[in-house]
A and B are shown apart, each in its own frame.
Chain A
């Protein structure tokens, strides 16, 4: 049984369709990418999976059980969310932020227990930032802040993470730090991940790291196609959805490893 099964999902704001007839599965230890131009409905699809929006049609099943319409704490024990960027309001400490990942396990009028505290430390250790536990998260760099949000999602102890452009606004190095962290997590904990991204090379990065990776190309509120990055991310398909001329190249780093990358060339039609 797949971990997540989305069947014939449709969603509409009032009258205009935002998503129509989307079906896909995500398995354990797999990364599923949503790739497509701005406004194609990636974030809306993620919101539907997270139970934030009411479907017009179709179903979202998690381990065979319908997720849509369940209580927030039930959903939050199955799927955790890592937001793209996060508007920081109060200078909470890292510990306090990650602790919020335990909300689904803590009763309405209760406060976190020592067990929740241990889950927090465990999550921070997994992403390698336990040293930051007592820092104020408003004073962290963008990359460290994103790691804190990943740790918060891990504290939810779910089998799946939903990430919406987790490397947006990050510098050259921290983008890679986040990617490496995600690879580690999938390898060691068997998490499944759904990630919306703007960079085809992210999908190649995971495929190059020998992680089960699939990409769905979205355009016009529907899936154009889905499959392994090396099949789907072709020069022709990228031309279709982005109208961009690209080259897909392969570069051998050492004897056993090839690195596939997409290089954008031009936006002129030729």
Chain B
């Protein structure tokens, strides 16, 4: 549900739509916070690092409550927050309450979950596949989910089936990749990658097919916008439902994070080091798929986060997955909230997330590469 827009040309009070000075102030301090967060991570001890990784996304969620197309002053936002959190009644207009608590808040929480999921599963897959160019979509989960959503848009005229189909087809795509990769009764990494590539391209073709048969007046644009990714429709009930697979995936990956180090030594070495490679690989794949499919089904396809956020993590905290996995989770969450905030402030209409992630992230990545010299990476 998008925010009510007071900046439409037919409104007489257009001058109101100029951002309040505090919006700019908030943005500046927000950017400053992110910069210290990013550069500070390198120089502090473990406990502080984890605290910072936890505080980062929470702070981003908090700040994004103040940012949006409908100007609400800091005092009012704070009051709304206070009475919502203390379960007391507010004497503030219902519209303000709705905007802050029912539009901005779920959107920020969902953004944190989606960004975190994409980044954490990207980092896990990079370790599992021993390949830094792998992203969370390597086993076809994003193209599968894309097809599921497109199919649901063609068949039904409601939002719920889109989530369901996207999630199910995302999982189905990964299952197919895994079965293709099992030709030798084991699952060698290279065959999994090949399986993922095949399944991805088949589903990409199927997405094109749904676009081809879709009604260009309404269905086609819906499909195209869905594929570009957006958090605009976030509601609490989305978080309640899609949050379950996302949380399960995140917790699973956090629990098994050290074993991803060992798996990244390759199958033969990992097994001689005492790891049941098949079982451990299976757990990582299932958890990463739950997280990614849960994220994609509510947000659409958001590229870039699952590939590059783990690299930013590598530059900042090194390659040990014990630190890298939680760092990717936190960085991904912060990054997606930030980009989503930009997306709803920059222009008159919202810019789809899938576009902005790369446009914002690319230069940021280059800047980090320069300033950390890649961290030996």
- A interface with B by C-beta (< 8 Å): 47, 50-52, 71-73, 75-77, 79-81, 83, 86-87, 89-93, 96, 99-101, 103-106, 108-112, 136, 138-139, 152, 156, 162
Query: What are 21 pairs between A and B in contact, CB < 8 Å?
Result: A50-B271, A52-B271, A72-B275, A73-B276, A76-B275, A79-B272, A80-B272, A86-B265, A87-B130, A90-B314, A93-B318, A100-B261, A100-B265, A103-B262, A103-B273, A103-B274, A106-B258, A109-B255, A109-B256, A110-B258, A111-B258
Do residues A108 and B259 form an inter-chain contact, with CB atoms below 8 A? yes
B258: chain A residues within 8 A (beta carbon): 106, 110-112
Contact A87 B274 (CB under 8 A): no
Cβ of B320: which chain A residues have Cβ within 8 Å of it?
92-93, 96
Whether the Cβ atoms of A90 and B255 lie closer than 8 Å is no
**Nearest opposing residue in chain A for B252, CB measure:** A109
Apart from the given pairs A103-B273, A111-B322, A152-B273, 6 other A-B contacts in the complex at a CB distance below 8 Å: A89-B264, A90-B319, A92-B319, A96-B319, A104-B274, A111-B258
**Residue numbers in A under 8 Å from B275 (CB-CB):** 72-73, 76, 103-104
Interface string of B115-146 (1 = CB under 8 A from A): 00000000000010011100000000000000
Asked if A52 and B268 make an inter-chain contact with CB atoms under 8 angstroms apart, the answer reads: yes
Are A91's CB and B377's CB within 8 A? yes
CA A47 to CA B271, docked complex, whole Å: 11
**Residue ID in chain B nearest A47 by CB atoms:** B268
**Chain B residues packing against A (C-beta within 8 Å):** 127, 130-132, 255-259, 261-262, 264-266, 268-277, 280, 314, 318-320, 322, 376-377
- Check A72–B271 contact: CB distance below 8 A: yes
B5, chain A: closest CB distance, angstroms: 47
In the complex, the chain B residue whose C-beta lies closest to that of A71 is: B276
A75–B132 alpha-carbon span in the complex (Å): 31
For the complex, what is the distance from the CA of A136 to the CA of B375, rounded to whole Å?
11
Q: Is B319 in contact with A77, judged by CB distance below 8 angstroms?
A: no
Which residues of the other chain, B, contact A108 by a CB distance below 8 angstroms? 256, 259, 280
In the bound complex, residues from chain B placing their C-beta under 8 Å from that of A111 are 257-258, 322
The answer for the CA separation of A91 and B255 in the assembled complex, in Å, is: 22
Closest chain B residue to A92, Cβ basis: B319
From residue A11, how far is it (CB to closest CB) to chain B in Å?
Answer: 16
Q: Which residues on the B side are within 8 Å of A72 (C-beta)?
A: 271-272, 274-277
**Whole-angstrom distance between the alpha carbons of A171 and B236 in the complex?**
63
Answer whether A101 and B264 are a contact pair too, CB < 8 Å, given A92-B319, A136-B376. no
Nearest neighbor of A90 in chain B, beta-carbon distance:
B319
Interface centre among A76, A101, A139 (most CB of B within 10 A): A76
Q: In the complex, what residues of A have CB within 8 A of residue B277's CB?
A: 72
Complex CA–CA separation, A68 to B208 (angstroms): 51
Q: Smallest CB–CB gap between B262 and chain A, Å? A: 5
Q: Which 5 A-B pairs have the closest CB atoms?
A: A104-B274, A76-B274, A81-B272, A109-B255, A73-B274
Contacts of B376 in A (CB 8 A): 91, 136, 138-139
**Please, which residues of chain A bring their CB within 8 A of the CB of B280?**
108
Residues of chain B within 8 A (CB-CB) of A103 are 259, 262, 270, 273-275
| Residue contact B266 to A156, C-beta cutoff 8 Å | no
Smallest CB gap from A136: residue in B: B376
Does the CB pair B274–A89 fall under 8 Å?
Answer: no
A103-B259, A108-B256, A108-B259 in contact; A81/B269 too (CB < 8 A)?
A: yes
B287 to chain A, nearest CB (A): 11
